[in-house]
Amino acid sequence: MPRTTRARGRTARTNVAGSNRRLLVGRLLMVIALLLTGAKLVQVQGVQAGELSSEGEKQRITKDAIPAERGSIVDRNSNVLAFSSEARQLYANPRQLTEDFDEQHAKDPSKPTSAQYKQEVARFIATTLRGQITEHEVLDALFKDAAFTYFGPEIDPSQANVITEKYPHIGAEYRATREYPAGNLAANVIGAANWRMDERKVKGQIGLELAMNDVLGGRNGTKVSDTARGSNLVIPGTERELVAATPGSDVQLTLDSDLQHVVQREVSDYAVRAGAKSASAVVLDAKTGEVYALANDKTFDPRGPWVGNLGNPSVTTPYEPGSVNKVITAAGAIEHGIVKPDQVLQVPGSIKVADRTVGDAWKHGTIGLTFTGVMGKSSNVGTLMVAQQLGEQRWYDLAKAFGLGKPTGIGLPGESAGSLPAREDWSGSTFANLPIGQGLSMTVLQMAGMFQAIANDGVRVPPRIIEAEVQPDGTRVARPAPEPVRVVSPQTAHVVRDMLRSVVQDGPGSSDDGTGSDAAMPGYQVAGKTGTAQQIDPACRCYSQSKYWITFAGMVPADDPRFVVGLMLDAPSGARESKSAAPLFNTIATFLTQRYQIPLSKEPAPFQELQVR
Q: What is the CATH number of domain 63-253?
A: 3.90.1310.10
Q: Are strands 291-296 and 278-285 parallel, antiparallel or unpaired?
A: antiparallel
- d(CA 508, CA 510) in angstroms, rounded, equals 7
Predicted confidence (pLDDT) at residue 22 exceeds the cutoff of 90: no
Predicted confidence (pLDDT) at residue 49 exceeds the cutoff of 60: no
Max Cα separation, the chain?
167
Predicted confidence (pLDDT) at residue 234 exceeds the cutoff of 90: no
Q: Which amino acid does the sequence have at 397?
A: D
What pTM was estimated for this model as a whole? 0.84
Task: Give 460-511 pLDDT, tens digit per residue.
Answer: 999 999 999 999 999 999 999 999 999 999 999 999 999 999 999 987 776 7
Q: Which of 72, 84, 257, 323 is catalytic?
A: 323
First CA to last CA across the chain, in angstroms?
167
Note whether 63-253 and 257-301+321-600 share their fold: no
Is 323 among the residues known to form the active site? yes
Predicted confidence (pLDDT) at residue 230 exceeds the cutoff of 70: no
Q: Which amino acid does the sequence have at 140?
A: D
What is the CATH architecture of 257-301+321-600?
A: 3-Layer(aba) Sandwich (3.40)
| Higher pLDDT pick, 42 / 547 | 547
Measure Cα distances from 246 to 201, 251, 598 in Å.
Answer: 12, 16, 43
pLDDT band at 52 (very low <50, low <70, confident <90, very high): very low
pLDDT at 47: 55
pLDDT at 574: 73
pLDDT at 545: 85
pLDDT at 116: 95
Task: Give the residue extent of every domain in the chain.
Answer: 63-253, 257-301+321-600
Q: Closest by alpha carbon to 75, among 480, 595, 470, 584?
A: 470
- d(CA 358, CA 436) in angstroms, rounded, equals 10
